[in-house]
Structure 1
C-alpha cells in the first residue's frame, strides 16, 4: 500500500506527464498551460474530490478522462469529476459499456445477478457518460496501447513525452507475494500482453499498482512467471478429477488466502479463466459425472 502521507501527491513522469499517487495511480497530462486530461479517475467520489482540489490548486481545466478499463477502482471518480467539470470521458470497446452500466462488473464476476454483498463501490462504480475511445478522440501526440488480458479491452496510453501508463497489466512483487493470484480475465491474452510489455521502451512506465520505473522488463517477467506457476499448480490439483469449488479451496488454503465474498468472485473468476485456458491448450479435460463438471489434468 502507498504511504498515507503521499496519497494524492502529484508526481512528475515527463515534461508534461504526471501521475497522482493513489491506490490505483491516476495519470495527468498537461495539454497546454490551462487544459489537462486524466488517465483514469480513482476509486470513488472522494478520490474525485481530491483530484479536483489538485486541479483547482494548479488552476487547471479538466477537458477529458481517458479510462484504461472499467474496473471500479479506475472509473470510480468519473461521475463526480464529470459532474463538476463537464469533461468528456472515453473508454475502449467493451470497457465503455461497463463504464456506462457498471453493474456489469459484479454481475460478470458473480455469474448472475450480484447479491448486495457485491454491489458496493469496490466492485460497483457509479455510472458515467462515456464515449467509445477512437484514435480521433485522443489528444495530439497521445496513443493507446492495447493491453488485453486483465480485463476485456484494457488499454494503456503513451504520451507525447514518452511516458507509458500501463493500467493493471502488472502487479507489484509485493502484491503478488501477498495475494499470489492476480485478477486475470483471459490468460492467453494476458501472457501475450506481458511479453509485449517486457519489450517496450519508454522514458517512464507508470503501472497503476506498482512503482513508476524506467525499466519494466524485470517486473513483466516476474508477472509472467507467476502466471505460469499458478497454471502449473492448478494442473497439479487436477491430477485426480475435481470440481471447481475444490480447486478454489485448495488454492485458498495453500496460499493462505482469506475467503470472503469479494475474494471468492475475484479469485474464482480468475481460476475459471485459468481452467478455460488449460482446457483450450489441452492440459486439462472435463468430465461430466453424477451431475458434476470435474476437471482432470492430462499430465
Structure 2
C-alpha cells in the first residue's frame, strides 16, 4: 500500500485506499490529484516526494469527500502549496463539518465526527485553467458529489475520482454513494465516450478500457431504481425503504452506512419522484413514498 506506480512518462499514482494521482512537471515540480484519507497518508506522500527529490507545487482535489482531502492540511503546512478545487467542494474542504452535517441532515453526533467523514480543514482556492500544468485537461464529473472533477494528464491518462467503483465493491455494498442520480447517469454517458491510454478511478483498478466498468455501474443504478420503486408498491416511510434495500441485499446497517447509504437512497427517491415514478402523501404526520 502507498507504493508509487508509473502510469505514463510523467504520470504516476499512489496505490492507496483512494488512489492519489501524481504528475511531474519539469524535473521536480509535482501536482497531486487528491491527498489521501488523513495526515498519515500525507506523511507517506511526503516520504515518497523526498525519496525522489520532488517538490509539491499543488494539490488538485477531485472533490471534497474526506478520503480524498484528508492529507491536505498536513501537506499544505509542510510545503505551503496551493490546494485547488471547485467552488462548492472548496466550502466543504474549508469547513469539513459540512460533510457529516449534510449526510446526516442535521447536527452530526459524535459517531459521525470521524476521519472517514470529516477531514482536517485546509485552505483551498478555486481552480482555473492557468493553475494546471501545460496540457492537463479538466473534466466535470458531477453526480457522486456536488462539483466533482476528473483530470487527463498530457500522457493521456485519466483520473476519474469516484464516478466508478469496481465489481468487488458493487457486489459487497451494492449502494455506492451518489448525490444526484440524474447527473451521475449523464456523467457515465460522457465517461463512456472518453479516449485515453489508461483510466484510473479512485476505488478500482486502473484499466485501459473503461466501458465495461461504466456499463456495470449503470446497471447497478437501474437495479436500485427498480428495487426502490417496487418497494414502494405499498406506502412506506423513508426508514422502511432503507430497511427494504438493506434486507434485499442482506446488508447490515451501522452509523456510517445509515448516513452514506441513507443519503443515497434519498437521492434515488428524489430521482424517482422527479421522473413521476413515485409520489408522496402525508398520513398521520408521516411522509409516505409510494409507486405512482
Q: Which band: TM-score by shorter chain?
A: over 0.9
Q: Helix, strand or coil for the counterpart of 1:242?
A: coil
Aligned pairs, number: 292
2:189 and 2:274 mapped to 1: Cα distance?
Answer: 20
Q: Report what 2:2 is aligned to.
A: 8
Gaps of 5+ in 2: none
2:251 and 2:203 mapped to 1: Cα distance?
Answer: 20
1:264 to 255, 258, 279: 258
Q: Which shifted more, 135-144 or 82-91?
A: 135-144
Residue 248 in 1 paired to residue 222 in 2? no
RMSD: 0.6
1:153 and 1:74 mapped to 2: Cα distance?
Answer: 14
Residue 130 in 1 paired to residue 129 in 2? no
1:193 to 181, 184, 187: 187
2:171 and 2:195 mapped to 1: Cα distance?
Answer: 26
Q: Report what 1:212 is aligned to.
A: 206
Alpha-carbon offset, residue 33 of structure 1: 0.7
Q: Report what 1:111 is aligned to.
A: 105
Residues 1-299 of structure 1 correspond to what in structure 2 (within 5 A)?
A: 7-298=1-292
Alpha-carbon offset, residue 257 of structure 1: 1.3
Q: Helix, strand or coil for the counterpart of 1:241?
A: coil
Cα deviations across residues 173-214 of structure 1 (Å, max 9, x unaligned)?
A: 000000001000000000000111111110110100010011
Cα deviations across residues 226-266 of structure 1 (Å, max 9, x unaligned)?
A: 00000000000000111100000111111111211111000
2:70 and 2:114 mapped to 1: Cα distance?
Answer: 11
